[in-house]
Amino acid sequence: MELLHSRILGDGKPLLILHGFLGMSDNWKTLGNQFANDGFQVHLIDQRNHGKSFHSDEFDYEILSQDLSNYMEHYQVSEANIIGHSMGGKTAMKFSISHPNHVSKLIVADISPKYYPPHHQYIVNALTQLDFNSIGSRKQADEILSQHLADFGIRQFLLKNLYWVEQGKLGLRFNLDVLKDRMEEIGESIPATSTFEGPTLFLRGDRSEYILPNDYSEIQKHFPQADIKTIDKAGHWLHAENPKQFFEKAANFLNS
Residues with catalytic function? 86, 177, 236
162-166 and 103-109: which strand pairing? unpaired
Closest Cα partner for 111 from 100, 123, 119?
119
Closest Cα partner for 87 from 1, 184, 162?
184
Distance CA(223)–CA(97), nearest Å, equals 9
Q: Are 100 and 106 in contact (CB under 8 A)?
A: no
Q: Are 182 and 120 in contact (CB under 8 A)?
A: no
Amino acid at the residue 125: N
Q: Are 138 and 130 in contact (CB under 8 A)?
A: no
